[in-house]
Amino acid sequence: MWIAVATITVIALTSGLLLSYASSRLPATSDDLVERVNGLLPQTQCAQCGFPGCRPYAAAIVAGTANINLCPPGGDDTIRRVAELLGRNVVALEEAANTDMVKSVAVIDESLCIGCLHCRNACPVDAIVGAQQLMHTIIASECTGCELCLPPCPVDCISLEIVR
Amino acid sequence: MSAAPTYDLGKLHGGLRLPGEKSVSTTGPVLQAPIPDQLVLPLTQHVGNPSQPIVGIGEHVLKGQLIADTDGSLGAPVHASSSGKIVAIEPWPVSRRHGATAPCIVIECDGQDQAIETTEIVVDYAQLDPDSLLKKILQGGIVGLGGAVFPTAQKLMQAVTAPLDYLILNGVECEPYISCDDMLMREHAHDVLRGAQILMHALSLSHCHVAVESDKPQAMIALGEALGEIADDRIVLKQVPTIYPSGGEDQLVQLVTNKEVPTGGLPTDVGCVVQNVGTAAAINRWVVHGEPLISRITTITGGGVVQPVNVHARIGTTIADIVHLAGGYTDQANQLVIGGPMTGKSISTDRVPLVKATNCVLVLVDEVPLENPRPCIRCGECAEVCPIQLLPQQLYWFSCADNETKLREFGLTDCIECGCCDLVCPSHIALTADFRMAKARMRELADEKARAKRARQRYETRNLRVLIEQEKRDEELAAQKETAREIGPEAIKAIVARARKKSPGDQDEDI
C-alpha cells in the first residue's frame, strides 16, 4: 500500500513540477490573448461598449472587468466567437441604445459645414479631412459608421447613410 | 443523360453526356442580321472597370468608331457597331449577374452603315514585334468570347510573362443548345486559323492545338480544309470527347495536354494559353482587316422560338430584334435565358442588348417544373460527376453550416459552377446556386476583414499621433513655466502692466 501511495505522490510531484515549469516558460501572455480578442471585434472603434475603442474593450474582456456582450456592431456573431475563444458562455447582447446595427457611413452636408474641426477630432479612425474654417468631408471608404462624429457637430450637418 | 466514364483520350474526371440539342440551330447557314433602328452598347461588356464614354449626346458616329475607352486599368474599349447619332447615355437593362441596369450608349442608326476611315491597317502583322501587336489587340476592344469576357490583350500580356509551350484554341462549346462557335468554324475557318497564327506570333509560340468536340464533324472538316490551304504545320487539330464541361478552360488544358492546372492557378502555370475560336477570329478581323469587335455570331434557339438559327448580329442589337429574326416567339415560350441551359442567366425583358459575351439566346418552354429539394442522402453522385473532383455533398453541408474554414479547405473557390452536381442530385438540391451564394458570402467576409484591419491600423496610428501631440503640448507648457520662473514674478507683473497700458480696452485680461 505504501508503495502505491509513494508512486502516486512521486508522479503527482513530477507532473506538477513539469507543468509549473511549462507555464513559466511557455506563457500564453494576456497581451497575446488581448490581440486575439481584438482580432474578433469589428474595429468600428465606436465606443458603444463604454471603452474608448476596440482594443481597450478587448483588454477589459481579458482582464475580466467587462462582459463579452457589450459590442452592438459585432452582434451575436462576435459574442459567439469571443465566447468560443475564451471558453465562456454565450450570452445575449446587452440592451444598448442602438441595437439594430446596420452597416452605415457618415456623410457631411458640406453646404452647412462651418469648419469647426470638432468632428475631425472625434473620429477614431481619422476618416474626416478638413481644416479650420474650411469645409470638412468624410473618406467614405475608411468610415466605420461609429457615429462618434454626430454629437460634437454644432450645426448638425452630419448624417448616417446605410451602405448597400 | 448519363454519367460518363473517364474518356480514354483525355483524363477529365466526371462530367456528363448531355443531350446536345444543337442540330436544330445548325440546319441553315448563319443569318446576317440587318442594321437595327437602335443600338444599345453597355460600357461594361468585359471583366474589369467600366469604359469611359468619349462621345457626347447628339454626336454623329461612324461604324467602328471608338466611343468609350479604358482608363488604362483592366478593361476593353467599346466601338460603334454602325453609323448614326448618339441619342442617350443612360442606364439600360442588361444581362449581367449583378444589378438590373447598367450605363449604356444608345445610338440611333441612320441605316448608312458608313465605316470610319481606318488609318492603320496592319496588313503584315509579322513585321510587328509581339509587344506592339499586343497593344494593337488591346485597341480592338477584343475580349474572351467564350463567355468569360476577360480582356484578351491583358490576358495575353499576363501570359507572356510565364514560360509557355502551347496555344490552345477552344472550339469545344460543350454546353447544350449553343452552336455559334460550331457555325463560326464551319463558315469562317480561315479567320480562326489566321487568328491562331497572329496569337502565336504575339506569344512567340510555335505550337497550337485547335480543340474541337467530337460532335462537330463539319467544323472539323472545314478547319482541316482551311489548314490544308494555309499549310501551317505548327497548328494541330485535336478532337476531344463530347463531355460536358470539357470546354472549361482548365478542363480543356487537362484534356489536351494531360496536365492539371493547380488550385487557384491559371493555365499559364502549366505552360498553356487558352483562347476561344471566336476570339481568334475577332483578332484576325481586327489586326488584318481593321474591324474592331462590333459583331458576333450568336445562337438563338430553344423550343420557344419558331426557327432556331445562328445569327451574325451587331453588338448592341436588342434581343427582341434577334428573336424576330428567328421567326419570333412561339405560344409556349416561357423563359428567356442568356447563355446555355447550364450556366446561363434568366432575364425578364427582351429589351436587353446583345453584348460581346452573348453566345446564346435560349427561349425555353416550361417543360420541367422545379422539384422541391429533399434532404441530402449522401449518395455521392455529385462527387462522381464533379469535373474538378470536389466533394459537393460535403461542401453543401459546410455551406449550410456557414463554415468558411472548411469550405476553403474543401476547395469551394475552385468550383466552376458547371451545374453537373445539380443535374445528378436525386434529391434535387440546388447545389450550384448554393455554392454561388457561399462564394459571395466568403468574398463579403474577406472584404469586411480587410476593412476591419484597416480601421484598426488607422485607430492605432491616430492614438499614437494624439499621444505625441499631447506630449509636445506638455513639453511646451513646461518650458513656458520654466521661463516664467526664471525671469521672476516682479518682471512678469511689469510686462503685464506694460501690456495693459498699450491696450486699455482689454480690462478683463487676467493672469
DSSP B257-318: H--PPPTT--GGGGTEEEEEHHHHHHHHHHHHH---S-EEEEEEESTTBSS-EEEEEETT-B
Residues of chain B with CATH 3.40.50.11540: 23-314
pLDDT in tens, A82-96: 998 888 888 888 765
Do B459 and A125 lie within an 8 Å CB cutoff? yes
Q: Name the pLDDT band for B504 (thresholds 50, 70, 90).
A: low
Interatomic CA distance for residues B243 and B246, integer angstroms: 6
**Cβ B61 vs Cβ B82: under 8 Å:** no
Selected for mutation to probe chain A from B404, B448, B456, B460 (highest A CB count within 10 Å) is B456
Domains of chain A in sequence order? 28-99 (1.10.15.40), 102-164 (3.30.70.20)
**Cβ B351 vs Cβ B320: under 8 Å:** yes
Residues of A in contact with B473 (CB under 8 A): none
Q: Residue A151: is its pLDDT beyond 60?
A: yes
Q: Residue B369: is its pLDDT beyond 70?
A: no
According to DSSP, the β-strands at B309-314 and B31-32 are: parallel
Compute the nearest-CA separation of A127 from chain B (Å): 9
Task: At A101, list the grid cell.
Answer: 446595427
23-42 of A, contacting B, C-beta below 8 A: 38, 41-42
Q: Is the alpha carbon torsion for B188, B194, B198, B199 positive or negative?
A: positive
Q: Name the pLDDT band for A4 (thresholds 50, 70, 90).
A: very high
Q: For the ranges A115-129, B13-27, B114-128, B451-465, which has the lowest average pLDDT?
A: B114-128
CATH number for B370-511 (one of 2.60.40, 1.10.1060, 3.30.420, 2.30.30): it is 1.10.1060
Q: Is the alpha carbon torsion for A36, A37, A40, A44 positive or negative?
A: negative
Q: Residue A110: is its pLDDT beyond 90?
A: no
Task: At A114, list the grid cell.
Answer: 462651418
Q: Closest chain A residue to B456 measured between Cα atoms?
A: A43
A53 in reach of chain B (CB within 8 A)? yes
**Mean pLDDT within B432-454:** 90
Helix (H/G/I), strand (E/B), else coil: B236: strand
58-117 of A, contacting B, C-beta below 8 A: none
A127 in reach of chain B (CB within 8 A)? yes
SS (H, E, C) chain A: CHHHHHHHHHHHHHHHHHHHHHHHHCCCCHHHHHHHHHHHCCCCCCCCCCCCCHHHHHHHHHHCCCCCCCCCCCHHHHHHHHHHHHCCCCCCCCCCCCCCCCCEEEEECCCCCCCCCHHHHHCCCCCEECCCCCCCEECCCCCCCCCCCCCCCCCCCEEEEECC
Residues of A in contact with B460 (CB under 8 A): 55
A142 in reach of chain B (CB within 8 A)? yes
Q: Which of B452, B454, B462 sits opposite A124 (nearest CB)?
A: B462
Q: Please state, rounded to an integer, the average pLDDT across all residues of chain B.
A: 87
Do B459 and A45 lie within an 8 Å CB cutoff? yes
Do B455 and A44 lie within an 8 Å CB cutoff? yes
Helix or strand (DSSP H, E) at B189: helix B189-203
Do B461 and A126 lie within an 8 Å CB cutoff? yes
pLDDT in tens, B305-359: 999 999 999 999 999 999 998 888 988 888 888 988 888 888 888 889 999 999 9
pLDDT in tens, B95-131: 765 567 888 999 999 988 888 877 666 667 888 888 8
B452 in reach of chain A (CB within 8 A)? yes
Interatomic CA distance for residues B350 and B339, integer angstroms: 14
User: Phi, psi at residue A124, to the nearest 5°?
Assistant: -75, -15
Residues of A in contact with B453 (CB under 8 A): 43
Selected for mutation to probe chain B from A40, A45, A77, A129 (highest B CB count within 10 Å) is A45
pLDDT confidence of residue B8? 41
CA-closest candidate to residue B255, choices B5, B1, B8, B421? B8
Longest dimension (CA), chain B: 111
pLDDT confidence of residue B448? 86
Task: At B444, list the grid cell.
Answer: 463579403
pLDDT confidence of residue A101? 66
User: Phi, psi at residue A90, to the nearest 5°?
Assistant: -70, 130
Q: What is the CATH number of domain B23-314?
A: 3.40.50.11540
Do B458 and A125 lie within an 8 Å CB cutoff? yes
Q: Is the alpha carbon torsion for A23, A27, A30, A33 positive or negative?
A: negative
Residues of chain B with CATH 1.10.1060: 370-511
Helix (H/G/I), strand (E/B), else coil: B419: coil
Q: Is the alpha carbon torsion for A94, A98, A101, A103 positive or negative?
A: negative
Residues B342, B346, B352, B354, Cα dihedral to 10°: 10
Interatomic CA distance for residues A130 and A135, integer angstroms: 6
